[in-house]
Amino acid sequence: MRIAVLTGGGDAAGLNAAIRSVGRHALRGGDEVVGVLNGWAGLLGDGDTRPLDDAALLGVLRQGGTLLGSSRTNPLRIDDGIAQVEAAMAAHRIDALVAIGGDDTLSVAARLAERGAHVVGIPKTVDFDLAVTEYCIGFDSAVAIVAESLERLHTTAASHHRVLVCEVMGRDTGWLAVMGGIAGGADLCLIPEFPLHLEEIVARIAARDAQGTTSSIIVVAEGAQIAGLTAEAGGPADAFGHQNLARRALGERLADAIESATGHESRATVLGHVQRGGSPVATDRIWPSRLGMAAVDAIRADTTAVAAAVVANAEQLVPLGDLVAEQKRVPASIYQVFEALS
pLDDT, tens digit (0-9, with 9 covering 90-100), for 15-61: 999 999 999 999 999 999 999 999 999 999 999 999 999 999 999 99
Q: Residue 4 is inside which H or E element, if any?
A: strand 2-7
Q: Which residue has the higher pLDDT, 2 or 238?
A: 2
Q: Is the distance from CB of 130 to CB of 38 less than 8 angstroms?
A: no
What distance in Å separates the CA atoms of residue 161 and residue 94, rounded to the nearest whole number?
60
CATH of domain 2-138+278-324: 3.40.50.450
**Which pLDDT tens digit goes with each residue over 4-18?**
999 999 999 999 999
User: Dihedral (C-alpha) 142, 148, 154, 157: value to the nearest 10 degrees?
Assistant: -70
**Which pLDDT tens digit goes with each residue over 147-172?**
999 999 999 999 999 999 999 999 99
pTM: 0.94
**Which pLDDT tens digit goes with each residue over 249-301?**
899 999 999 999 999 899 999 999 999 999 999 999 999 999 999 999 999 99
Share of the chain above pLDDT 70, in %: 95
Considering the chain, tell me which residue range(s) the CATH 3.40.50.460 domain(s) occupy.
140-275
Query: Quick check: is 31 catalytic?
Result: no
Q: pLDDT at residue 235 above 60?
A: no
Q: Which residue has the higher pLDDT, 242 or 167?
A: 167
Q: Which residues contact 242 (CB under 8 A, 6 or more apart)?
A: 104, 171
User: Dihedral (C-alpha) 64, 75, 317, 97: value to the nearest 10 degrees?
Assistant: -80
Q: pLDDT at residue 65 above 70?
A: yes
- Pick the closest to residue 162 from 174, 171, 153 (CA basis): 153
Give the CATH superfamily of 140-275: Phosphofructokinase domain (3.40.50.460)
What is the dihedral sign for C-alpha 167, 144, 136, 122? Answer: positive
Average pLDDT over the chain reads 94
- Pick the closest to residue 229 from 204, 252, 206 (CA basis): 252
Q: pLDDT at residue 134 above 70?
A: yes
Half-sphere exposure of 232 (CA within 13 A, CB side): 15
**Which pLDDT tens digit goes with each residue over 75-127?**
999 999 999 999 999 999 999 999 999 999 999 999 999 999 999 999 999 99
Q: pLDDT at residue 233 above 60?
A: no
What distance in Å separates the CA atoms of residue 113 and residue 147, rounded to the nearest whole number?
38
Q: pLDDT at residue 240 above 90?
A: no
Q: Which residues contact 107 (CB under 8 A, 6 or more apart)?
A: 76, 324
- Pick the closest to residue 19 from 52, 44, 47 (CA basis): 52
Q: pLDDT at residue 241 above 60?
A: no
Residue-level pLDDT at 248: 75
In this prediction, residue 224 has a pLDDT band, given cuts at 50, 70 and 90, of very high
In this prediction, residue 321 has a pLDDT band, given cuts at 50, 70 and 90, of very high
Q: Is the distance from CB of 205 to CB of 262 less than 8 angstroms?
A: yes
Q: Which of 31, 103, 127, 129 does the annotation list as catalytic?
A: 127
Considering the chain, tell me which residue range(s) the CATH 3.40.50.450 domain(s) occupy.
2-138+278-324
